[in-house]
Amino acid sequence: MEKEILYKYFEGIASPEEEDAVYRWLDASSENEGELLKEREFFDAMILAGSMEEDIAGKSVISGVIQVPLIRPWMRDVLKIAVAVAITVACGLYFYVSEKKEMLAAMNTVTVPAGQRVNLKLSDGTTVWLNARSEMVYPAVFSGTKREVKLDGEGYFEVEHDKECPFVVHTQKCDIEVLGTKFNVEAYSDSEEFSTSLMEGSVKVTDNAALSASVLLRPDQEVHFKDGRLLVSSIGDYDHFRWRDGLVCFNDVAFNELMKRFEKCYGISIVIENKNLEEYSCSGKFRISDGLDNALRILQRNAKYTFERNEDNSIVYIK
């Protein structure tokens, strides 16, 4: 870290970007904390030295010898106060550094209930939408060389560009690394399915079970995890991502596939006992907030079936 930036930080005249650089440097290594404290002590010593030079500015020269005025009792008290202030500042800085580290280490967790969605903005300006039954863990303040979050569920990310600090989404099956982009991730831990769909920029998707296996997506591409492999294809239907608007959209989708989407959305098991529905495909859209029963009643208009819930409402049987 350049000393000029540190001294500007000590004086309180550093820009927000320079302050952020100091925090990142500080968090990068425990050795940097000791270096910062030493530089602060040296900085305070220079301030004290400057004050003493000002005090002896009225010196006189006799026979080529500099005569330093005697330090009177009141001056000793001033110096004692100055030293005490310097020590206090150093101690205060130490505790501030410690608090800053605690703040950097603090993690937030957002859990989205079934049938709901959440929109939030992270400390770096990145915008995230979380779908129903999703959970994301993220730091209160990003630090270090990467911006990292953990996702269980489905999320749509609009990442602020920072080539020096990549954004990484950790999921159970794969990690997604980006610099600045828009993409959707579906990675529920209670499902075998995993997908990442890219709208803008580029993302690198890596299989956690085989770190050498990774793919680089271009816009309008998506990757699915199937049979232990990452398979890349073109995005077929962007309406699938309108869950951010509170909608479930589907076009010529098999009935059983639609029920799987409802299961994820509402956190409920759906058992299809009616064999006549195996060949049935449907199209349309529903507001998530209208609930599962409303969607099933509307679908009944074109498909003959009945449905009922078990006693604790955890399972829906379609007959």
**Per-domain residue ranges for the chain?**
3-105, 107-238, 246-318
Q: Which CATH architecture has domain 107-238?
A: Sandwich (2.60)
Nearest to 178 by CA among 143, 204, 199, 214: 204
Looking at domain 246-318, does it have CATH number 3.40.50.2000?
A: no
pTM over 0.75: no
In tens digits, the chain (319 residues) has pLDDT values of 777 887 777 666 777 777 777 777 777 776 776 677 777 666 555 544 444 444 444 433 433 343 434 444 444 444 444 444 444 444 555 455 555 555 445 788 999 888 888 898 888 889 999 998 899 999 888 877 889 999 999 999 999 888 888 999 999 988 999 977 889 999 888 777 888 999 988 899 988 887 767 888 889 998 888 877 888 988 888 888 888 888 888 888 888 888 888 888 888 888 988 888 878 888 888 888 888 888 888 888 888 888 888 888 888 899 8
Q: pLDDT, tens digit, for every residue of 230-242?
A: 889 888 888 888 8
